[in-house]
Amino acid sequence: MKELNKIESHDLLIIDDFGLQPINNEKQMILMDLIEDRNQKRATIFCSQIPVKNWFDLIEEKTIADAILDRIIHSATRFELKGESMRKKMKSNKKFSLILTQESIIKTLSTLLRN
């Protein structure tokens, strides 16, 4: 619980690779608590290779899935990226580097939200 409190206190939480593994009973309750505490209070970014329409099937208990996804999806701004994988681009171009600072992430997100 101490670790969960640390995570919940941050203004921005990025959950990367969401849904690569099924979300079982223990994990779904942790996710539910986390989302419930952050809902409408702090920013949370989910990054996933799994289409949003398939997220429901990732969560074992369907009632909990409804509650979690209701809080995530219905108040979200979605960005669906298309195109070649960044890893593939980086591998083919050894000179390519990607440096993201907190400032550049905020600037990019602000620009995207305005458009």
Say what the pLDDT of residue 67 is.
93
Establish how many alpha carbons lie within 13 A of residue 21's alpha carbon, considering only the half-sphere containing its beta carbon.
6
| 68 φ/ψ angles, rounded to the nearest 5 degrees | -65, -50
Say what the pLDDT of residue 80 is.
78
**What tokens appear for 20 in the block?**
């690569």
In sign, the C-alpha dihedral spanning 97, 99, 105, 110 is negative
Question: Contact, 36 vs 6, CB < 8 A?
Answer: no
CA distances from 35 to 29, 74, 89, 102, 110 (A): 10, 13, 33, 22, 22
CA distances from 28 to 92, 95, 114, 115 (A): 38, 41, 33, 34
Q: Which of 82, 9, 5 is nearest to 44 (CA)?
A: 9
Print pLDDT tens along the chain (115 aa): 677 777 777 888 999 899 998 898 889 999 999 998 888 888 888 988 888 889 999 999 999 999 999 998 887 888 877 777 766 766 666 554 555 555 666 676 677 666 5
